[in-house]
């Protein structure tokens, strides 16, 4: 994997943090001509000092406005060759940051938004977010005899963004670094709004051994829980990883303490939903989405 090393050692993220692996791969792909922005979260607190590029941060709600302002300011000064990167968590993207994301996407601002999705508000101790999957335990969705973890499914974030008809939407995984880096290298050359939704397993919040970060990421892709795809030119859909056969979801879920309470019936429900979704994705693979 080529690309200059930008992220330095010595961050304060947990042992085995997915965000740390993602940051290194992503900034290798962006290169030095990059400005990145922050909203509150683990990336800002534990990692941002180890990314020696120009950066600035704002309140949770302000991420979309911040990148929009920067890119328009640069354009006004005739600077066209900088990557303006939003590097936010799922809270800063899917929940609190959603209105700003939608505004920037609708205006097709020339920015690159990466959502580092660890599926909860991890910096504040792991509260559920709109990106937390169904049944997952978080500190605000404990499992007990009356509750089974989170009650509802996670938002379908890439399709929400795609519905804005933007330059690029993709999903990626840190277990598939060449797919991830390839997507950034391709999309950073496009003008307009680029969105990459990267799963970022969190050993602390999901409850797995720090040595298993890549293993968990890989198993979720191989089982279809985290499909890899991209949507180009507004609505051109393509799966970028198509195993002939999906692995059962049990292996990926079994490694994570947040799913330890699952009954067979609940695991089966997750399995059938994943199967159904995968079938739909195969049907639209290589086709234009209907909008």
Ligand X SMILES: Cc1ncc(C[n+]2csc(CCOP(=O)(O)OP(=O)(O)O)c2C)c(N)n1
Residue ranges in contact with other proteins by CB under 8 A = 1, 5, 7-18, 20-21, 24, 45-46, 123, 174, 177, 203-204, 209-215
User: Cβ 153 to other proteins, closest distance in Å?
Assistant: 28
Q: Nearer to ligand SF4 by C-beta: 14 or 270? A: 14
* 58 lines the binding site for ligand X (CB under 6 A): no
Beta partners for 290? none
Q: Nearer to other proteins by C-beta: 94 or 217? A: 217
* 26 lines the binding site for ligand SF4 (CB under 6 A): no
Q: Would you put residue 206 in left (φ > 0), alpha (ψ -120 to 50) or beta?
A: alpha
Strands (E), the chain: 34-38, 54-57, 83-89, 112-117, 168-173, 194-199, 229-232, 236-239
* 13 lines the binding site for ligand X (CB under 6 A): no
Q: Which of ligand X, other proteins, Mg ion, none does residue 214 bind (CB under 5 to 8 Å by kind)?
A: other proteins
**What does the angle CA 5 – CA 27 – CA 200 come to, to the nearest 5 degrees?**
115
The total of other beta-carbon atoms located within 10 Å of residue 69's CB is: 16
Task: Tell which one of 58, 88, 90, 150 touches Mg ion (CB under 5 A).
Answer: 90
DSSP letter at 31 equals: -
Between the CA atoms of 268, 274, 280 and 285, what dihedral angle is there, to the nearest 10 degrees?
Answer: -150
Q: In whole angstroms, how large is the CA radius of gyration of the chain?
A: 18
DSSP letter at 121 equals: B
The residue written with tokens 């195969």 in the block is 282
Task: Tell which one of 40, 133, 170, 203 touches ligand SF4 (CB under 6 A).
Answer: 203
Residues 72-131 that bind ligand X (CB under 6 A): 89-92, 96, 118, 121-124, 129
User: Cβ 227 to ligand X, closest distance in Å?
Assistant: 21
* 204 lines the binding site for ligand SF4 (CB under 6 A): yes
* 174 lines the binding site for ligand X (CB under 6 A): no
- Whole-angstrom distance between the N-terminal and C-terminal Cα of the chain? 36
Binding site for ligand SF4 (CB under 6 A): 13-14, 17, 19, 42, 46, 118, 122, 202-205
């Amino acid at each position: 994997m080529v690309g200059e090393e930008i992220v330095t050692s010595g961050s304060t993220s947990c042992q085995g943090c997915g965000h740390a692996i993602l940051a290194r791969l992503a900034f290798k792909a962006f290169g030095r001509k990059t400005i990145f922005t922050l909203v509150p979260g683990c990336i800002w607190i534990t990692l941002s000092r180890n990314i020696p590029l120009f950066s600035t941060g704002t309140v949770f709600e302000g991420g979309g406005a911040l990148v929009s302002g920067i890119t328009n300011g640069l354009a006004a000064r005739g600077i066209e060759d900088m990557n303006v990167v939003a590097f936010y968590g799922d809270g800063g993207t899917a929940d609190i940051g959603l209105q700003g994301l939608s505004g920037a996407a609708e205006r097709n601002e020339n920015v690159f938004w990466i959502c580092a999705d660890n599926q909860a508000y991890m910096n504040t101790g792991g509260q559920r977010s709109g990106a937390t999957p169904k049944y997952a335990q978080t500190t605000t969705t404990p499992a007990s005899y009356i509750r089974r973890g989170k009650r509802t499914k996670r938002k379908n974030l890439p399709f929400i963004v795609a519905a804005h008809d933007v330059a690029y939407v993709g999903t990626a995984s840190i277990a598939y670094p060449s797919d991830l880096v390839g997507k950034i290298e391709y999309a950073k050359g496009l003008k307009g709004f680029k969105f990459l939704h990267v799963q970022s397993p969190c050993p602390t919040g999901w409850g797995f051994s720090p040595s298993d970060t890549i293993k968990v990421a890989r198993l979720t892709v191989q089982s279809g829980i985290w499909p890899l795809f991209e949507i180009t030119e507004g609505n051109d859909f393509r799966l970028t990883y198509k195993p002939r056969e999906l692995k059962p979801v049990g292996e990926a879920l079994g490694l994570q303490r947040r799913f330890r309470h699952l009954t067979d019936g609940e695991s089966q429900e997750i399995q059938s939903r994943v199967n159904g979704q995968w079938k739909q994705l195969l049907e639209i693979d290589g086709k234009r989405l209907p909008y």
